[in-house]
């Protein structure tokens, strides 16, 4: 049987202000802060995770917190839009809730609202033609009726789409849904968080890293055996793939697709309840075992953050 990527596991971006980030993703978008930890490769900086009640794959938006970082340039070789799914009937609610929003033309049957977070990251609220039955986080400031269900998809901007689309369809098992001008749509093997749009920008400037930039997009492997098979497959076609890396909440491999976007393939398990109960997710700083003996030093370096209260209005 040919392996197919189910869809998106998580999206990781960069913020220059951890508190503004929490206030926006929890206070405005109504997501749950499911994990407060550190960047495993840079333990002097936070790594924040948002999602549904348990931070299920397909709902997780994460941020490296680089205080005071200069803004990067959004451009080719990057994820240039991250889309969240809501009930189509809730689009008017979100038009009123968001401070500055643009109504985009209907895209592949989707109704789309475009806006940006405090760092300038491009986001979208999408009303899908079919119902998204995933249960939302409902103990925040957005009622369950209107709450975000998880990801709809991502947009990759690349100079030339051919090699990227060949990887998506020929190796990762995405199905082509055709194109609309310079945008081409591909679907993973899942009913949700399955959309990857490839935007061809041959004259666009190359993106640069910094605040307001998506660092990488992670796709789901399901389990460790599936991930190992993906690594073998990618290595055989000449991709420079990292070894499997233990991220405590999932295991990861990384590689750059031909257009320059950093891809990750992450396992669904063990999940965010491996070191916290479901009720207490995101309420304390959790450190991976290798940094626990340096907790006092790390805590003295990290800036204080106010965590949200779980109240629904």
Handedness of CA 46, 147, 113, 158 (dihedral sign): positive
Tokens of 163: 């090699």
Q: 262-267 and 214-222: which strand pairing?
A: parallel
Give the pLDDT of residue 1.
Answer: 57
The neighbour count for residue 145, using CB atoms within 10 Å, is: 12
Residue 282 Cα distances to 53, 134, 301, 305, 306, angstroms: 11, 21, 19, 12, 11
Is the bond preceding residue 120 a cis peptide, omega within 30 degrees? no
What would the mean pLDDT of 73-88 be, rounded to a whole number? 97
Q: What are the pLDDT digits (tens) for 19-74? A: 999 999 999 999 999 999 999 999 999 999 999 999 999 999 999 999 999 999 99
Q: Is residue 210 within 8 Å of 72, Cβ to Cβ?
A: yes
DSSP string for 241-274: PPPPEE-SSSEEEEEE-TTS-EEEEEES-S-GGG
| Residue 38 phi, psi dihedral angles, 5° rounding | -120, 160
Three-state SS at 165: helix
Give the pLDDT of residue 313.
Answer: 24
Q: Is residue 185 within 8 Å of 178, Cβ to Cβ?
A: yes
Q: Is residue 98 within 8 Å of 86, Cβ to Cβ?
A: no
Q: How far apart are alpha carbons 217 and 118 in whole angstroms?
A: 20
- The fraction of the chain above a pLDDT of 70, given in percent, is 98
Give the pLDDT of residue 129.
Answer: 86
Q: What are the pLDDT digits (tens) for 190-236? A: 999 999 999 999 988 999 999 999 999 999 998 999 999 999 999 99
Its pTM stands at: 0.96
Place of tokens 């991250």: 82
Give the pLDDT of residue 180.
Answer: 84
Q: What are the pLDDT digits (tens) for 134-167? A: 999 989 999 999 999 999 999 999 998 899 999 9
Q: What are the pLDDT digits (tens) for 164-189? A: 999 999 999 999 999 988 999 999 99
DSSP string for 188-213: -SSSSS-EEEEEE-TTPPBP--SBT-
What would the mean pLDDT of 16-20 be, rounded to a whole number? 97
Give the pLDDT of residue 312.
Answer: 33
In the chain the domains, ranked by start, together with CATH numbers, are 8-301 (3.10.180.10)
């Amino acid at each position: 049987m040919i392996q197919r990527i189910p869809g998106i596991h998580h999206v990781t971006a960069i913020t220059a202000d951890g508190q503004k980030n929490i206030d926006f993703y929890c206070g405005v978008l109504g997501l749950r802060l499911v994990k407060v930890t550190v960047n495993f490769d840079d333990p002097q900086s936070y790594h924040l995770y948002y999602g549904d009640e348990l931070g299920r794959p397909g709902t997780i938006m994460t941020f490296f917190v680089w205080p005071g970082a200069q803004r990067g340039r959004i451009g080719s070789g990057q994820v240039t839009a991250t889309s969240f799914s809501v009930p189509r009937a809730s689009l008017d609610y979100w038009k009123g809730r968001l401070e500055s929003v643009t109504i985009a033309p209907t895209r592949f049957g989707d109704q789309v609202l475009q806006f940006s977070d405090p760092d300038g990251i491009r986001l979208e609220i999408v009303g899908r033609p079919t119902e998204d039955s995933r249960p939302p986080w409902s103990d925040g400031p957005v009622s369950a009726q209107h709450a975000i269900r998880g990801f709809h998809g991502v947009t990759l901007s690349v100079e030339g789409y051919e090699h990227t689309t060949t990887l998506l369809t020929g190796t990762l098992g995405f199905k082509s849904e055709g194109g609309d001008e310079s945008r081409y749509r591909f679907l993973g093997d899942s009913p949700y968080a399955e959309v990857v749009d490839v935007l061809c920008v041959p004259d666009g400037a190359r993106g640069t890293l910094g605040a307001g930039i998506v660092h990488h997009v992670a796709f789901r492997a399901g389990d460790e055996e599936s991930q190992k098979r993906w690594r073998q497959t990618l290595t055989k076609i000449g991709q420079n793939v990292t070894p499997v890396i233990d991220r405590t909440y999932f295991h990861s491999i990384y590689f750059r697709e031909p257009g320059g976007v950093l891809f990750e393939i992450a396992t669904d398990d063990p999940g965010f309840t491996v070191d916290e109960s479901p009720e207490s997710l995101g309420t304390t700083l959790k450190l991976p075992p290798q940094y626990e003996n340096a907790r006092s030093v790390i805590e003295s370096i990290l800036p204080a953050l106010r965590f949200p209260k779980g109240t629904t209005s």
